[in-house]
Amino acid sequence: MNIGYARVSTTEQIAGLEAQRESLRAVGCDRLYEEQISSVAFRGALQEALEYVRDGDCLVVTKLDRLARSVRHLGEILETLEAKGVDLRVLDLGLDTSNATGKLMLNVLGSVAQFERELMLERQREGISKAKAEGRYKGRKPTAQLKAQEIKEMVAQGQPKKDVAKVLGVSERSVYRVLRAQ
């Protein structure tokens, strides 16, 4: 049985998620797990997929970076899959771990992908430093601070802080931070 896993980093990436869905269905995935969440956050759908797969199944992803956030994470996932007798297929790379060559190529490409990501983050940090030095970098817009009055009013009305965070689209931690600053 082919089990598909699709992921995008943000809720705005609807087209990307739909494209992954279509690709996974086109190769015959019988079941799809999908989520809209950063790779560094807990990914419940990935965990469900890894728990669901059984001996003889194949976990299918469209791209390697949709599955793992680092070579180490990829290794952990592969270890879990191997222990269950499950293969991994990465569509855009044409990789399949059902053979030795596929396993080798997956590890090599996983290392290259991590190297690429680290270079991108390095360039991003350099760009931010340069912009700060030139006085052009303002940082991220303080969304919770802009909603401070609403947060205070809703909490004063007795609404739970967790609900306030959800309604206003900020983190619960930000709600506490705003209230502490009173």
Which active-site residues does the annotation give? 9
Tokens 């705005």, located at residue: 12
Q: What is the DSSP string of 52-112?
A: H--TT-EEEES-GGGT-SSHHHHHHHHHHHHHHT-EEEEGGGTEETTSHHHHHHHHHHHHH
Give, for 5, the enclosing helix (H) or strand (E). strand 2-8
Our CA angle for 63, 68, 70, nearest 5°, is 120
Are β-strands 2-8 and 31-36 bridged in parallel, bridged antiparallel, or unpaired? parallel
Contact at 8 Å (CB) between 27 and 60?
yes
Of the chain, the end-to-end C-alpha distance in Å amounts to 56
